[in-house]
């Protein structure tokens, strides 16, 4: 009970946006604050070193929060005024601390803040990187979205999986793998028309390994549908 109270106390001390710094800073008591500015918005990202809490503000408005105590890599994704943001947090080391926070907007890399603790004391410094090939950043985010979609599909969280697939198609409308996975989800939901529609889109966008359609367990429902034989003849034979 005492430790729970202590953790919550440190959160209350640290998380309130009125206490947020104007520049990035970090210490054990107040956690890590990353302040990022682009041409339109100011992002403030707060990480608690005590409790694993992550909170993200845009223009002083809280847009997402969660607690992470089990993974060394997380992806916070949210939309703000028509822009799609992704904040990737990777913990490379805990003693001494080395945490990398990368920010993407609409699939394009904006910056990476590397927070590093000195070996001699508890001070933390920042190394900011702002140069990366836009093509590489887009491919990186597409891979992240696809992995998240697959993970959620395996856990049968169809809504969350669909969210990441929609994000990937917003970045790359010709992404055949995303169309294929959406067809799988619609098949699981027994939405036959939608399943066939997205399978066709996947094939029209040059789906690799199209014979998977004959074997994937997620497509079992549409394979027993009366329309499947004609679909197979048209696209798979």
pLDDT in tens, 28-63: 778 889 999 988 899 999 988 888 889 999 998 999
What is the topology classification, in CATH, of domain 2-132? Answer: Lipocalin (2.40.128)
Total length of the chain:
237
Cα angle value 110/113/117 (rounded, 5°): 175
Place of tokens 């990366």: 132
What residues contact 101, with CB distance under 8 A and at least 6 apart?
32, 34, 45, 47, 87, 88, 89, 112, 113, 115
Please give the average per-residue pLDDT across 93-121, as a whole number: 81
Within the chain, all domains assigned CATH 2.40.128.180 are found at: 2-132
Q: What three-state secondary structure class fits 98?
A: strand
Distance CA 151, CA 187 (A): 17
Please report, rounded to a whole number, the percentage of residues in the chain having pLDDT higher than 70. Answer: 85
Torsional class of 206: left (φ above 0), alpha (ψ -120 to 50), beta (otherwise): left
pLDDT tens by residue, 138-192: 788 889 899 999 999 999 999 999 999 998 998 899 999 999 999 999 999 999 9
What pLDDT score was predicted for residue 13?
46
User: pTM of the prediction?
Assistant: 0.68
Helices H / strands E in the chain, number of each:
7, 10
Distance CA 101, CA 190 (A): 40
136-235 maps to CATH 3.20.20.140: no
Please give the average per-residue pLDDT across 201-221, as a whole number: 94
What pLDDT score was predicted for residue 133?
60
Within the chain, all domains assigned CATH 1.25.40.10 are found at: 136-235
What pLDDT score was predicted for residue 14?
44
Please give the average per-residue pLDDT across 224-234, as a whole number: 93
Checking if the pLDDT of 206 tops 50, the result is yes
Place of tokens 């992550």: 54
Instruction: Give me the chain's average pLDDT, please.
Output: 84
Checking if the pLDDT of 67 tops 70, the result is yes
What pLDDT score was predicted for residue 141?
84
């Amino acid at each position: 009970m005492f430790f729970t109270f202590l953790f919550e106390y440190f959160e209350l001390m640290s998380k309130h946006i009125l206490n947020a710094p104007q520049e990035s800073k970090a210490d054990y008591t107040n956690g890590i604050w990353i302040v990022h500015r682009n041409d339109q918005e100011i992002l403030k990202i707060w990480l608690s070193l005590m409790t694993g809490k992550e909170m993200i503000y845009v223009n002083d408005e809280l847009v997402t929060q969660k607690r992470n105590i089990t993974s060394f890599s997380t992806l916070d994704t949210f939309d703000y005024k028509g822009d799609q943001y992704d904040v990737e947090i990777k913990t490379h080391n805990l003693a001494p601390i080395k945490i990398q926070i990368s920010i993407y907007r609409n699939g394009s890399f904006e910056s990476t803040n590397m927070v590093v603790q000195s070996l001699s004391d508890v001070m933390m410094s920042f190394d900011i990187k702002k140069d990366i090939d836009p093509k590489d950043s887009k491919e990186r985010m597409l891979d992240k979205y696809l992995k998240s979609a697959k993970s959620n599909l395996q856990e049968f969280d169809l809504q969350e999986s669909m969210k990441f697939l929609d994000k990937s198609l917003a970045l790359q409308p010709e992404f055949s793998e995303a169309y294929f996975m959406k067809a799988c989800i619609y098949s699981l939901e027994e939405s036959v028309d939608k399943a066939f529609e997205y399978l066709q889109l996947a094939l029209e966008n040059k789906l690799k390994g199209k014979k998977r359609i004959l074997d994937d367990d997620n497509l079992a429902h549409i394979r027993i549908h009366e329309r499947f034989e004609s679909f197979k003849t048209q696209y798979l034979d």
